[in-house]
């Protein structure tokens, strides 16, 4: 998953980014609204974490404008304000959830998972694809009685395919989903991760197919 964190507190931002990246997520960080608007105008995000008090404006402006523009990226507001009226206000503006600072990282991860499940219409972390059970929380593929632990980027790549079986993803699109702006990688990296996933899926009814000149797609036969 690709996340955007909009937070001006550098120490908190570094801690959140490091924690989410340990889970294999791609995280871009914007310290102000101007940078956030630039990022969202060029990249699609699976989830946005939004601070309220920012150096160049109020995060609620970003929230309301995003919803006016019909952006469907889920937004979790991070706020130091604990009053009920403040929390009700951001929810009414279109926030999917909120957290009051100081942030507990385990709770943040759980809230991110819950929001993403709700947006995807899922009630469980386990997705069945043919004979393969994919657990996005545990980061595993289970085939019969055999369970394989995926590495973080393998997990996030498989998650992209698993959420949209049959959809073709170009290498460029996959690089965008797996790597942040501050990571300098080539599209060849995608070939490496696709190769690893294919080895994990060998002998099953699930495959990642190369569509010549276009990219890759997941198929269940």
Asked whether the beta carbons of 157 and 193 are under 8 A apart, the reply is: yes
**CB burial class (10 A; 0-12, 13-18, 19+) of residue 184?**
exposed
Closest CA to 3 of 14, 17, 12, 11: 17
Q: Look up the CATH architecture of domain 126-220.
A: Orthogonal Bundle (1.10)
pLDDT along the chain (221 residues), means of 10: 94 94 89 96 93 94 92 90 82 92 91 85 79 91 93 92 94 89 86 96 95 95 90
- pLDDT score at 121: 65
Domain pair 2-120 / 126-220, same fold: no
What phi and psi, each to the nearest 5 degrees, are found at residue 26? Answer: -90, 125
CA end-to-end span of the chain, whole Å? 26
Domain ranges (residues) in the chain:
2-120, 126-220
Q: Which CATH superfamily is domain 2-120 in?
A: Response regulator (3.40.50.2300)
- pLDDT score at 122: 63
In order, the DSSP letters of 78-146 are EES---HHHHHHHHHTT-SEEEESSPPHHHHHHHHHHHHHHHHT-SSSEEEETTEEEETTTTEEEETTE
């Amino acid at each position: 998953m690709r996340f955007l964190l909009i937070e001006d507190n550098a120490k908190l931002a570094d801690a959140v980014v490091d924690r989410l990246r340990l889970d294999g997520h791609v995280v871009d960080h914007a310290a102000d609204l101007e940078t956030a608007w630039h990022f969202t105008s060029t990249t699609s995000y699976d989830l946005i974490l939004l601070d309220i008090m920012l150096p160049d404006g109020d995060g609620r402006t970003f929230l309301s404008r995003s919803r006016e523009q019909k952006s469907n990226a889920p937004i979790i507001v991070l706020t130091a304000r604990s009053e009920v009226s403040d929390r009700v206000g951001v929810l009414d503006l279109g926030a999917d959830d909120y957290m009051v600072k100081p942030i507990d990282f385990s709770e943040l991860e759980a809230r991110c998972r819950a929001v993403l499940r709700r947006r995807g219409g899922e009630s469980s972390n386990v997705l069945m694809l043919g004979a393969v059970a994919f657990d996005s929380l545990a980061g595993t593929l289970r085939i019969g009685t055999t369970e394989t632990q995926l590495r973080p980027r393998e997990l996030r790549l498989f998650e992209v395919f698993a959420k949209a079986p049959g959809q073709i993803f170009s290498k460029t699109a996959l690089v965008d989903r797996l790597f942040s702006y501050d990571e300098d990688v080539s599209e060849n990296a995608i070939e490496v991760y696709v190769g690893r996933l294919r080895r994990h899926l060998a002998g099953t009814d699930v495959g990642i197919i190369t569509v010549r000149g276009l990219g890759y797609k997941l198929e269940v036969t």
